[in-house]
Amino acid sequence: MSARSDARFPGECSAAAWGDREFTDPIAAADGMRALARRARFVTATPEWHSACVLSFHGSEQARRDCVAVCAGHVSAWAPLVRSERADGTWLELAGAEALYEPGEILHQDVAALTALFERVLAFGEPVELRRIRKEAAVAAALRRCARGRGWVFRVDAARAIFLEPARCPDRNALFASGDRRRDLDRKRRRLAESGVPAFEWLKPDTSDVDRIVALALDIEGSGWKTHAGTSVAQKPALAKFVRHVTRAFAEQGRLIVAFLTLNGAPIAMQVILVHNSAWCELKIGYDPRWRPMSPGVLLAEATALKACEEGIERYEFMGNEEPRHGTFAHRAHEFETLVYVPLNRQGLRLLGKMVWERSRLKASASPV
């Protein structure tokens, strides 16, 4: 069963029956998904995030979009999937996972809902990739249980994601893992002050000024090494579209923060932050390369972490992959995995043969001569 939705939840909503009901109202489904998403640890599990992904990375007329939800009067499990055409055939994958490779999770209320969800997903008869999802024994077990007699499930570890717990770092002494690093930043802060008046500000733009403020932040990101590497937001139209959509959606709900470190009123470092479930989630960062010796990005991250503690925020999520800069802080880590389902059909057998051949070739290349 599918139904067209409005701009608040784009794409086709394929809803699986559970009990005696199906979701055919996409607006009710979106509201139910938002309620379920309030249980999510990661902002990437929200309908706002997935809507932005669909509009930005999977928006062509040829792309068939299936937002698979299991429901019984309310949404109780959810996997926002898209079909992608690869060299080896059609796959089902999480929306935006390939383009962004951000941490994710499969939302579910209980094991019964999770099992019903995977029954619906595997009924498509296509290979499935759940890339970099939160490592949960219940999720892997449910997928394997549903795959019995239908195909095979493989898992690989995925990159960790780093986060802070501001309540455990209420001051600078607790925030930094190294006293030497803290003293080094003190010296850089003094050097920066010799060039002008530094200041920190945290803005909460609304729909009237979100585009202007986010554009100012992205100008800073585009002034540095990312432009030279060809990876800045401005150089990637689909990514720019995603940032525009997701920041507008969060600004509309008062859940967007844009932080700046300014010098004499001019911004030299920025953070774009999405607020979700008592967490501040770092979407984009950047700094003016002219001030790199003073580490403006780290100075802003320090100030924002302390600000989060003042606001009673439970977590500051760095998002993305683990980076050397994260080691500066007294951090913790989330663990992730990628689950791949290969169906027992013609396409699946071809995929399985390809996987075996590639693994044997890798082993052969690693053998001593």
Question: Rounded to an integer, what distance in angstroms lies between the CA atom of residue 322 and that of residue 132?
Answer: 13
pLDDT tens, N- to C-terminus, the chain (369 residues) = 233 223 233 333 344 333 333 444 555 566 777 888 888 999 999 989 988 998 898 875 444 445 555 554 467 888 888 888 888 888 999 989 999 999 999 999 889 989 988 998 898 899 999 999 999 999 999 999 999 999 999 999 999 999 999 998 888 888 987 888 889 999 999 999 999 999 999 999 999 999 999 999 999 988 766 666 666 787 889 999 999 999 999 999 999 999 999 999 999 999 999 999 999 999 999 999 999 999 999 999 999 999 999 999 999 999 999 888 888 888 999 999 999 999 999 898 888 888 777 766 655 554 443
DSSP string, 263-275: ETTEEEEEEEEEE
Give the list of residues 6+ apart from residue 342 with CB closer than 8 angstroms, or none.
127, 151, 152, 153, 154, 348, 351, 352, 355
Domains of the chain: 15-159+335-356 (3.40.630), 166-313 (3.40.630)
pLDDT of the residue at 15: 40
Say if residues 10 and 241 touch (Cβ distance below 8 Å). Answer: no
Closest by CA position to 244, among listed 215, 278, 201? 215
Question: Rounded to an integer, what distance in angstroms lies between the CA atom of residue 355 and that of residue 366?
Answer: 17
pTM for the model stands at: 0.86
Find residue 89's DSSP bridge partners: 86
DSSP string, 193-231: HTTS-EEEEEE---TTTHHHHHHHHHHHHTTSHHHHHT-
Strands 107-108 and 279-287: unpaired
Task: Name the average pLDDT for the chain.
Answer: 84
The torsion angles phi and psi of 55, rounded to 5 degrees, stand at -65, -30
Report the SS3 class of residue 162. strand
Report the SS3 class of residue 339. strand
pLDDT of the residue at 34: 80
